[in-house]
Amino acid sequence: MKKMIIASTSTIHGSGYLEYLLPTLNIFFNDVNTLVFIPFARPGGISYNGYTEVVKKAFATINIKVKGLHEFNDLNEAVLNAEAIFTGGGNTFELVNQLYKNNIFEDLKIAINNGTPYLGTSAGSNICGLTMMNTNDMPIVYPPSFVTLCCIPFNINAHYLDPISGSKHMGETRETRIKEYHVFNETPVLGLREGSWLSVEGTSILLKGEHTARLFQQNEKPVELKSGVVVGI
């Protein structure tokens, strides 16, 4: 049975890395001693080792040891045998590119479907949907495919932003971009605001956190989902 936390972000304003999520993660990873971290998204171009050190410090506060996936000789075996897995944020294009390049997607999906606890933040959440096509990231590399884990029946738009009243910004809003996507694609999209996450157990998907999420479906008006509701599509 799937057991996942799919979070919009790793860090909210005024808090440390994963700090806002740690009480939840302490319960979620209750029986976990060691976690495998996938650092491929490389936010800001950080090295795999540097990124893993950031994650190690955060999880040390809840007594969980972290080892970066890049530190293993056999990446597929590491994923399949992991007690738990965390995929961090950064650039979704590079993350997906490396997952395909290293032939990890299928084993990652198998591990999740077999019940390995999975945490994703930002790019690590974008890959939980049917495709990565609703990421906000620049296409700095060209992955072999946009198809991702298909662990939930919709796509994620992490860091979802609402239009700012009175703003003179002339660029497109997130809602505009998602409407453009739905001209050509049927897959629903969930705009996940900062500080919000999805709690997945089996086929049940529950919205958590302080904020509502905005659900977009083709040819329908967007719907605001309250925290605590089941996301049913």
**Which are the catalytic amino acids?**
122, 137, 159
Strands 155-158 and 85-87, sheet pairing: unpaired
Residue 168: helix, strand or coil by DSSP? coil
Looking at residue 186, its amino acid is E
Asked if 59 and 32 touch (Cβ cutoff 8 Å), the reply is no
CA angle 105, 86, 29 (to 5 degrees): 130
Q: Which residues pair with 207 in a beta bridge?
A: 198
Which of 60, 55, 107 lies closest to 82 in space, CA to CA?
107
